[in-house]
């Protein structure tokens, strides 16, 4: 933390290279890198929050994206553009997380279905229905006990 000011100033200088661009690509890359580091290193979250605040305050007003306009039809620039890009990055990451979570749930359901089909085809009907039975029924239908009942 003692070198925060010098390092953050270098990062802002780098991000301000977007002054020469019409689409803010350098700023987007800096935000991407800072965001990735911040999400990977939770113990430093306060420092990354300070960095983002400082960047929002100090990004040059000459950094703009001609493709993003305000209500007056002028390109968003400087701190407002940083804020917009950072929020977009957060939204993208959030949505990716939900898609990944949904994919994991679907994959687990497919695995369970596949296992049930495999069990059915192998003739072990007692274990096939375990997912729909109470724990007591599972015990009673265990292969070692089924011989006692029949």
Helix (H) or strand (E) holding 77: strand 75-77
Q: What share of the chain is helix, strand, coil (3-state, %, to 5)?
A: 75, 5, 15
Distance CA 80, CA 76 (A): 6
Please report which confidence band the pLDDT of residue 119 belongs to, taking 50, 70 and 90 as the band edges: low
Q: What pLDDT is attached to residue 100? A: 67
Residue 134: which region, alpha, beta or left (left: phi > 0; alpha: psi -120 to 50)? beta
Of 3-12, 121-130, 132-141, give the range with the top mean pLDDT: 3-12
- Residues recorded for the chain: 150
* 3-state SS, residue 16: helix
Helix (H) or strand (E) holding 66: strand 64-69
Q: Residue written as tokens 């990062």?
A: 11
Please report which confidence band the pLDDT of residue 45 belongs to, taking 50, 70 and 90 as the band edges: confident
Answer whether residue 130 shows pLDDT above 50.
no
Mean pLDDT confidence for 35-58: 92
Q: What pLDDT is attached to residue 93? A: 87
Domains of the chain (ranges; CATH) run 4-93 (1.25.40.180), 109-149 (no CATH)
């Amino acid at each position: 933390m003692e070198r925060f000011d010098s390092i953050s100033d270098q990062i802002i200088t780098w991000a301000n290279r977007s002054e020469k661009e019409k689409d803010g690509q350098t700023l987007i890359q800096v935000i991407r890198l800072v965001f990735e580091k911040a999400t990977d290193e939770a113990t430093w979250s306060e420092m990354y929050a300070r960095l983002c605040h400082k960047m929002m305050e100090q990004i040059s007003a000459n950094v703009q994206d001609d493709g993003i306009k305000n209500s007056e039809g002028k390109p968003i620039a400087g701190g407002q553009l940083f804020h917009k890009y950072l929020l977009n990055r957060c939204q993208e990451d959030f949505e990716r997380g939900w898609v990944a979570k949904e994919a994991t749930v679907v994959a687990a359901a497919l695995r369970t279905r596949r296992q049930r089909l495999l069990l059915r085809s192998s003739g072990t009907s007692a274990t096939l229905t375990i997912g729909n039975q109470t724990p007591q029924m599972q015990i009673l239908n265990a292969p070692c006990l089924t011989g006692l009942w029949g």
